[in-house]
Amino acid sequence: MDLTTSVSIISFTLLYYDYFLTLGEEVNLFWSYRSLTWVTIMFYVTRYFSILGSIPVMFGHFWLGHVAVCLSLQTYHQYYALILQVFIGVLLLLRTYALYERNFKVLVLLVVVGLALLIFGIALLVWGRNEIQLQETVVVSNELGCQLWLNQQNASCLALVWGGMLLFDFLVFSLTLYKALTLQRDGRVTLLSVLMRDGTVYFGVMAISIIANILTFMHLPHELDDLSVGHRAFAPLLGQPETRGMATTFTNSISSIMISRLMFNLRDPGLSRILPSLRSPALPHAAVATLDSLQEEAIV
């Protein structure tokens, strides 16, 4: 079994294990609500698109049949990853928009940047699609599944797509940090801790995952061959045709897990005990009303 398949198996295991582990929370915190909002709809779409959409990806890692089917599965994997990140981006957009009390300028900023990065990503995928070189898998040396071999040009395109996703996450984190510092001046420290905890953990985990994935697409300079043994130990993981993008499945699984956990935390009943303490003459009525509605819609 090759390294890419091993990483993918770990990723699928984490994804489905976390799903069944948090299914009870989903039932209690989401299914019990009779009314549907855009946020709850996007939560269901994102969560189950990730769970069900991963099945063809998982199937592809063990496909031993015709090359044409393998190529279709790998093409599906690329667009599946992009669409999943778009869904997650929409949830982050709604969360940030609500955090800024539905400020139209913030909405325009997030939508414009998000659409620009989406168009950029689609263009790169389409432009680089013809550069893919596919190796038909043969059952030798205990290797399973179809292997997608990317030349450096196509790998660079995919690295740029993931870089755009990281840029959007950084924008959301920066806006959250700025708003949290503003709320701190209003004395809303308890709510601030919730916002900063979730925002920081989400961005930190996703940044590490995406950067790790980008590194697998990058070409390793020949100069590194003369470096220490420790550096050479990582050389087989960077820029090799058989390992390019091997962390994509892991990044998709982690992003799905993280956004689900974030949404569950925002519907934590404990937050209901925080909001009443925020009501004070010093706070504008609109701000308190917004906080109440945000918790109800799970888009703090």
Helices (H) and strands (E) in the chain, counts: 9, 2
What is the reported pTM?
0.81
Mean pLDDT, range 102-118, rounded to an integer? 94
Of the pLDDT bands very low, low, confident and very high (cuts 50, 70, 90), residue 100 is confident
- For position 229, what pLDDT does the model report? 43
Average pLDDT over all residues of the chain: 76
Instruction: Flag the least confident range among 80-84, 161-165, 197-201, 267-271.
Output: 267-271
**101: pLDDT strictly greater than 70:** yes
Highest mean pLDDT among 99-108, 122-131, 240-249: 99-108
For residue 157, what pLDDT is reported? 83
pLDDT-derived band at 281 (thresholds 50, 70, 90) equals: very low
Q: Which H or E run contains 230?
A: helix 229-233
Of residues 169 and 236, more confidently modeled:
169
Which range has the worst mean pLDDT, 13-17, 104-108, 151-155? 151-155
Per-residue pLDDT averaged across 38-60, rounded?
91
Question: What is the b/e burial string over 129-160, where b = at least 16 CB atoms within 10 angstroms of the residue's CB?
Answer: eeebebeebeeeeeeebbbbebeeebbbbbbe
Q: Select the more confidently predicted residue: 4 or 19.
A: 19
Chain centroid offset of residue 46 CA: 10
Q: Which residues pair with 269 in a beta bridge?
A: none
* Region 41-47 average pLDDT: 93
How much is the pLDDT for 172? 93
Residue spans per domain, the chain: 3-297
Please state the rounded mean pLDDT for residues 205-217: 90
Predicted confidence (pLDDT) per residue in 121-157, tens digit: 888 877 766 555 444 443 333 355 676 666 677 778 8
- The CATH number that domain 3-297 falls under is 1.20.1070
Mean pLDDT, range 248-267, rounded to an integer = 90
Q: Identify the residue with better confidence: 284 or 66.
A: 66
Give the type of residue at 165. M
Looking at residue 299, the DSSP 8-state letter turns out to be -
Position 188 scores a pLDDT of 52
Q: What is the pLDDT of residue 107?
A: 94
Distance CA 296, CA 254 (A): 26
Q: Does the pLDDT at position 189 exceed 80?
A: no
